[in-house]
């Protein structure tokens, strides 16, 4: 419920667009009389294209969209499900589409090509979604390339819709205007991400001015920017590295500290890109950053807070402790790490706890105590809980906390752009299956 409450404006936007699509198709006057199957088939086709449009729009990461959805992690959760839902709608649309052909009952080269385009769109879409389900096994740059190909089934689907419809979609009617907006908006959003995002969204440029290694798995990077980053402690940015031998795709990283033009990142070796950074990044390398995103801005939150971090999920909390402004809130910080050698920032956290009586630090060594769970954490009912860390850890703790106190205030960041679609799909499929079994 907290998820829906925090993203209510974004959810309302999605429901409005889908509802408007259904209303316009249902109330529009067709060129020729037709059975209900034909109406429903074309309504579903419009619904599929509207979902495509929303998927492309959300991928642009516009600030107003991120705010509407209450954070990028929530926005991308909707993004994933808007990509999954058309699977069922496509099958239903195909089942009903024969009624359209029977209504038109004409032989036209353009109609034949439009029908072929519909089959091509379906094939491309099913193939790309199938590959996306296996994203956790792909390299990030391959996943990004596959995502860019989603515009192909969208274009084929538009051609199919506009030239095989029993409605006049070029007439200037409300339905035609809506469909043209969907078409232009979807293609423009996709074009922005493919051709313009890389240079329009990265407003901050600078160079790497210091690199240190707290342990074998973690590195601290200092970047000096040409102009100060507009940033609140706890937020993250997309970072782009301009160095030969390092992947040039932008990646999200939490800012672990900033003092004006200097920005700090604490990065753990977790994948191909971070491994490249650890092995190859050198001083004076040029970089660029986007504006800051994220809702883990804790200074303006409630008077009682519980922080829970796992592994490198420490970084947004570390940024708060490194800033000169002192916390007034009563904070208990639980930091889960695999062992003392892998822990990062223990000296900073402990030093803050030693000098601030309203701040309590509780380290959790999983090698000694096992995975962190609610039995290790004390949470008062009126406290706000903030979590950041591995997605599995965050999801497990959110579930445990909500079971203990459904009204507990929780905020968390555990989003990822790839590798979660199949996990989400299987998790919800199991829930549905259990409902039928019961």
Is the pLDDT at 108 greater than 70? The verdict is no
Question: What total number of domains does the chain contain?
Answer: 3
pLDDT tier for residue 408 given thresholds of 50, 70 and 90: confident
The model scores a pTM over 0.85: no
Apex 245 CA angle, 242 and 249, nearest 5: 50
Number of H helices, E strands in the chain: 18, 11
pLDDT of res. 54: 97
As given in the structure block, the two tokens for residue 80 are 């994933």
User: Does residue 227 contact residue 261 with C-beta atoms inside 8 Å?
Assistant: yes
**Cα 114 from Cα 112, distance rounded (Å):** 5
Residues with Cβ within 8 Å of 118's Cβ and at least 6 positions away in sequence, in order, are 97, 156, 157, 160, 164
**Cα 341 from Cα 344, distance rounded (Å):** 8
As given in the structure block, the two tokens for residue 161 are 């819709």
pLDDT, tens digit, 9 for 90 and up, residues 268-320: 888 888 999 999 999 999 999 999 988 777 766 778 999 999 988 898 898 88
- Same domain as 194, residue 211: no
- Same domain as 122, residue 44: yes
- Same domain as 208, residue 177: no
Q: How many residues are recorded in the chain?
A: 438
Range of the structural domain that residue 115 is part of: 2-200
Is the pLDDT at 133 greater than 80? The verdict is no
- Same domain as 417, residue 384: yes
CATH number at residue 254: 2.40.30.10
Residues with Cβ within 8 Å of 288's Cβ and at least 6 positions away in sequence, in order, are 202, 204, 205, 206, 239, 240, 242
- Same domain as 283, residue 345: no
Mean pLDDT of 378-394: 89
CATH number at residue 74: 1.20.120
Strands 384-388 and 304-310: parallel
pLDDT, tens digit, 9 for 90 and up, residues 201-260: 998 999 999 999 988 889 999 999 999 998 888 889 999 999 999 988 888 898 988 887
Is the pLDDT at 140 greater than 70? The verdict is no
pLDDT of res. 136: 62
- Same domain as 148, residue 72: yes
- Same domain as 271, residue 315: no
Percent of the chain with pLDDT over 90: 43
Apex 413 CA angle, 375 and 346, nearest 5: 65
Is the pLDDT at 417 greater than 70? The verdict is no
Sort 130 into a burial class: Cβ within 10 Å, 0-12 / 13-18 / 19+: exposed
**Cα 345 from Cα 151, distance rounded (Å):** 44
**Cα 2 from Cα 89, distance rounded (Å):** 28
**Cα 393 from Cα 371, distance rounded (Å):** 8
- Same domain as 168, residue 61: yes
CA 426 to chain centre: 18
- Same domain as 226, residue 196: no
CATH number at residue 425: 3.40.50.80
Decide which of 289, 309, 336 is a domain's last residue: 289
- Same domain as 269, residue 310: no
Decide which of 261, 289, 317 is a domain's last residue: 289
pLDDT, tens digit, 9 for 90 and up, residues 316-334: 898 888 877 777 889 999 9
Higher confidence at residue 200 or residue 147?
200
pLDDT of res. 135: 63
- Same domain as 260, residue 216: yes
- Same domain as 73, residue 212: no
Higher confidence at residue 329 or residue 178?
178
**Cα 158 from Cα 182, distance rounded (Å):** 9
pLDDT of res. 240: 94
As given in the structure block, the two tokens for residue 114 are 């439009």
The phi, psi pair for 209, rounded to 5°, reads -115, -10
Decide which of 170, 200, 230 is a domain's last residue: 200
Is the pLDDT at 26 greater than 90? The verdict is yes
Mean pLDDT of 142-150: 78
Range scoring the smallest mean pLDDT among 27-36, 131-140, 231-240, 350-359: 131-140
pLDDT tier for residue 83 given thresholds of 50, 70 and 90: confident
């Amino acid at each position: 419920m907290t998820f829906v409450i925090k993203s209510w404006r974004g959810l309302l936007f999605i429901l409005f667009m889908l509802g408007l699509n259904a209303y316009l198709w249902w109330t529009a006057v067709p060129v020729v009389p037709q059975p209900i199957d034909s109406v429903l088939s074309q309504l579903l086709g419009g619904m599929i294209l509207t979902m495509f449009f929303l998927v492309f729009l959300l991928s642009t990461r516009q600030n107003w969209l991120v705010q509407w959805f209450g954070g990028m992690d929530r926005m991308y959760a909707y993004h994933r499900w808007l990509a999954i839902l058309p699977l069922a709608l496509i099958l239903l649309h195909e089942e009903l589409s024969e009624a359209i052909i029977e209504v038109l009952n004409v032989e036209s080269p353009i109609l034949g090509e439009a029908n072929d385009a519909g089959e091509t769109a379906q094939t491309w879409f099913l193939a790309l979604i199938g590959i996306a389900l296996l994203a956790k096994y792909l390299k990030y740059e391959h996943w990004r390339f596959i995502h860019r190909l989603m515009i192909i089934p969208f274009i084929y689907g538009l051609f199919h819709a506009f030239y095989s419809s029993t409605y006049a979609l070029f007439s200037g009617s409300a339905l035609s205007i809506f469909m043209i907006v969907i078409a232009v908006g979807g293609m423009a959003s996709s074009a922005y991400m493919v051709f313009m995002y890389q240079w329009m969204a990265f407003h901050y440029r600078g160079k790497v001015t210091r690199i240190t290694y707290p342990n074998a798995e973690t590195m601290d990077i200092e970047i000096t920017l040409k102009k100060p980053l507009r940033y609140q402690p706890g937020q993250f940015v997309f970072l782009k590295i301009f160095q030969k031998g390092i992947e040039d795709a932008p990646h999200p990283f939490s800012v672990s500290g900033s003092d004006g033009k200097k920005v700090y990142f604490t990065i753990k070796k977790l994948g191909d890109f971070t491994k490249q950074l650890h092995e190859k990044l050198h001083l004076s390398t040029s970089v660029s950053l986007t504006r800051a995103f994220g809702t883990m801005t804790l200074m303006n939150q409630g008077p009682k807070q519980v922080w829970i971090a796992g592994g490198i999920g420490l970084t947004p909390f570390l940024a708060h402790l490194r800033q000169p402004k002192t916390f007034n809130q009563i904070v208990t910080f639980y930091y889960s790490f695999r062992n003392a050698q892998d822990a990062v920032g223990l000296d900073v956290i402990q030093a803050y706890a030693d000098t601030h009586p309203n701040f309590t630090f509780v380290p959790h060594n999983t090698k000694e105590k096992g995975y962190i769970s609610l039995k290790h954490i004390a949470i008062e009912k009126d406290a706000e809980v903030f979590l950041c860390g591995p997605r599995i850890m965050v999801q497990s703790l959110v579930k445990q906390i909500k079971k203990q106190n459904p009204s507990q205030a929780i905020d968390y960041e555990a989003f990822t752009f790839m590798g979660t679609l199949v996990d989400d799909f299987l998790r919800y499929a199991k829930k549905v299956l259990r409902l039928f079994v019961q």
